Chain A
Amino acid sequence: MDSARKPQVATVRGADALPAAGRPLRNPLAAEQRIVLAGQAVLIGGLLLVWEYAGQTGLINVKLFSHPSDVIGRIWSMLAGEDLHGHTVFEHLFATGQALAIGFSIGAVLGVVLGFVLGRSALMARVFEPYLLGVYSIPKIAIAPLFVLVFGIGLESKIAVVVMGVFFMVFFNTFAGVVGVNEEFVNIARIMGARGMSVTRRIIIPAALPSIMLGLKMGVPFGVIGAIIGEYIAATQGIGWLIIRSTSFFDASGLFAALFYLVAATWLLSQLVSRIEARVLRWQPQRRQELVTY
């Protein structure tokens, strides 16, 4: 029984099968890229131009808004060591950095230690969980005044706020890292005869290290925020203090310039942190760690 039908059109293969109205196919995304860049240039360039124009012609109050040429001039003069309420911009950055460095060290150590202890003891973790979450839920800006009251104006209260910011980030990630250590690794080591501290040093810490590094890395911006909050409330120098000071002196170009230095310093800092992370985690396959932020 022949129920086959011949195909309605003979199948054609080979060169003569090219489409009659053929046009070469271009990668659509590549073509779009030019429009994308153009759009970005127009937006940013346009805004800068409008801003400059408004500033030059007095459409806006330059004390409140400033304008690009002023800002760039200020950045330049700050670079040259302009005196800003008693210190150069670098001295201000140093003051903030000092609080950041000390606070970060303290907060990181506390975070790792506590994360480790609670990570290895289910009981302790369960008991302290509500307290930790409770304190964490108080926003840093609300806790900062408490530190100011206790430590007064100056470096100590700044450091305390930084510690708050860094501690939780490092703690939660260390905790997750330690809890996440594959218990099989630990069991194997113990069966081989390894004891206590040796197990900790050789097995648990390296296994938890990626998470710890992640917590440390994410702790940096939180530390920066802590330092700046501290400076807003009670300080006599620092880049955050400088920003507030510029505000009350109606020094818009100073404010923008200080902002510029803050962003630049933060960016440099994060680059440094990335380099360190890469070196410490050389053995790590390119796995994406899950960030614990709650």
Chain B
Amino acid sequence: MATAPATVVRPSRPHVLRSQDRRFVLVLQVVIGIVVLASWELAIAARLAQPLIFSSPLRIAERMVSMLGGEIVYGRTIFDHIGVTFQQIAIGYALGASAAVVLGYLFGRVRLLRRMFEPIILALFSIPKIALAPLFVLVLGIGLWSKVGIVFIEVFFVVFFNTMKGVLEVIEEYVHIARIMGASRWQTSRRVIIPAALPSILIGLKMGVPFAIIGAVLGEYIASNQGLGWFILYSTNSFDASGLWAGILLLVGITWTLGQLVNVAQARMLRWQPPRRGRSVSVA
């Protein structure tokens, strides 16, 4: 005869939190944050680690304030440097995204084109883009255009594939209905196919933003004498840890801001979509 287990077996529950748990979580998070920052600051103050290599929260904050106040860093203000990087990103993104949307649309509508050249594009995509970056520098030189080139290919692939997918997934009956009503090919493109594909296209455009930023910074690492990425690398080589951290934080801040801008634009353009249930990305 089987004996009952000595302890009560409690069923495993999936990840569900009650509201008091939520408050507890928040408190824990804040505590952890404070503890980490405080121990960092203290460790540096007690000379447990080198300030030049690690810096400390207060030093970083101080540096940020002075940089944003217009401090001249290696010949320019940080705003000049950011401006240079931003210019590269903007031009590269504009060119890359336009080319990608146009080609993605064509490949989505013309089967022959797709069958012929998509495998080639896929093959090119499989080469890590960072490996191709030096090639751009070799061919286009140290200035603006090599960075634009790198940003271009970083942006191109993600926008291209998402655009093509969006166009391919357009319900063909949408197109039939319009054509039978008498719509010309151009009218059908503009009023039916593009709006139908827009959600996917916007996803591609959104994903392209962080890639573009990475591309610009990468280009500046390889060969540049100005820009936010250059600043980060120069700080590294000069053992300027505070500057390095400040640069990284600025980079993250800019990435986040641009991302939010894209989100807002996306929400406005897609008001017609049924609201999605729950969180779209969730770790817990």
Contacts and interface: CB of A to CB of B under 8 A. Distances in A.
Contacts of B28: 127
Contacts of B12: 183, 186-187, 190
B252 A138 contact: yes
B58 interface: no
A250 B135 CA distance: 10
Interface in A121-162: 122-123, 125-127, 129-133, 137-139, 141-143, 145-146, 148-150
Which range contains the number of B residues in contact with the other chain?
A: 35 or more
Nearest to B6: A193
A225 interface: yes
A228 B116 contact: no
A145 B25 contact: no
Nearest to A40: B116
B117 A126 contact: no
Nearest to B252: A138
Contact of B139 (A64, A118, A190, A259): A64
Contact of B120 (A44, A190, A247): A44
B252 A131 contact: no
Interface residues of A, number: 62
B134 A243 contact: yes
A252 interface: yes
A43 B116 CA distance: 10
A255 B134 contact: yes
Interface string B31-43: 0110000000000
B214 to A, nearest CB: 5
A246 B244 CA distance: 28
Nearest to A171: B283
Contacts of A183: 11-14
Interface stretch (A31-39, A85-93, A101-109, A274-282): A31-39
Interface in B204-233: 210, 213-214, 217-218, 221-223, 229, 232-233
B46 interface: no
A134 to B, nearest CB: 8
B138 A250 contact: yes
Contact of A123 (B21, B135, B251, B252): B21
Contacts of A80: none
A175 interface: yes
B130 interface: yes
State the main secondary structure of chain A at its contact with B.
helix
A259 B248 contact: no
26 contacts: A32-B111, A32-B112, A40-B117, A40-B119, A40-B120, A129-B284, A131-B29, A137-B252, A139-B255, A142-B232, A142-B251, A142-B252, A146-B244, A149-B239, A149-B241, A179-B15, A183-B14, A190-B12, A232-B222, A240-B131, A247-B135, A247-B137, A247-B223, A250-B138, A255-B134, A259-B131
Closest 6 A-B residue pairs measured CB to CB?
A125-B284, A122-B15, A39-B116, A145-B236, A247-B134, A129-B283
Interface of B: 5, 9, 11-17, 21-22, 24-25, 28-29, 32-33, 53-54, 111-112, 115-117, 119-120, 126-128, 130-132, 134-135, 137-139, 210, 213-214, 217-218, 221-223, 229, 232-233, 235-236, 239, 241, 244-245, 247-248, 251-252, 255-256, 281, 283-284
Given A172-B283, A255-B134, 7 more contacts: A33-B115, A40-B117, A125-B15, A126-B284, A131-B33, A183-B13, A229-B218
